[in-house]
Amino acid sequence: MLNNLRAKANAYSAKDNLDDTQDDVKSLVKNAQSLLNAAASLTGNKADELRERGMDLLDAALGSAGKYQDQAVVKGKELAHTADVYVKDNPWRTVAVAAGVGLLLGVIVGRK
């Protein structure tokens, strides 16, 4: 029971981190797009500087996305391990739940 609560708390914090990351990446991409659009109308050193800043922002966005992708993979592996341990500790309960879900799905599909 305690492990279930911990897993739920971790899932909520991961969702908050994902939302924050998505907002950060969107913001970085929008800033980079505006810089690149401004650089398209300019020429010379100023355009080169704006293009470089835009590329730096895009690189930062990709770096942030990669970091959080790695964290998501690690969290997914932890959750899979937790589920595996639960199934091994409670095999009959797991079979009963799976049978109940299968029966419910069979009834739903059979009605159509």
- State residue 106's pLDDT score: 93
Distances (CA, A) of 88 to 4, 80, 85, 105, 106: 15, 12, 5, 25, 26
pLDDT digits (tens, 9 = 90+) for 11-34: 555 556 666 766 777 777 777 777
Question: Do residues 26 and 58 lie in contact, with contact meaning Cβ atoms separated by under 8 Å?
Answer: no
Cα-Cα-Cα-Cα dihedral sign, residues 72, 69, 64, 67: positive
Domain that holds residue 48: 2-111
Q: Say how many domains are in the chain.
A: 1
Amino acid 101 reads V
- The tokens for 35 are 């810089």
Residue 75: enclosing H or E segment and its boundaries?
helix 45-89
pTM, to two decimals = 0.44
- Residues whose CB falls within 8 Å of the CB of residue 95, separated by 6 or more in sequence, listed in order: none
- The tokens for 99 are 């049978």
Measure the CA–CA gap between 4 and 82, rounded to whole angstroms: 9
pLDDT digits (tens, 9 = 90+) for 45-74: 777 777 777 777 777 777 777 777 788 888
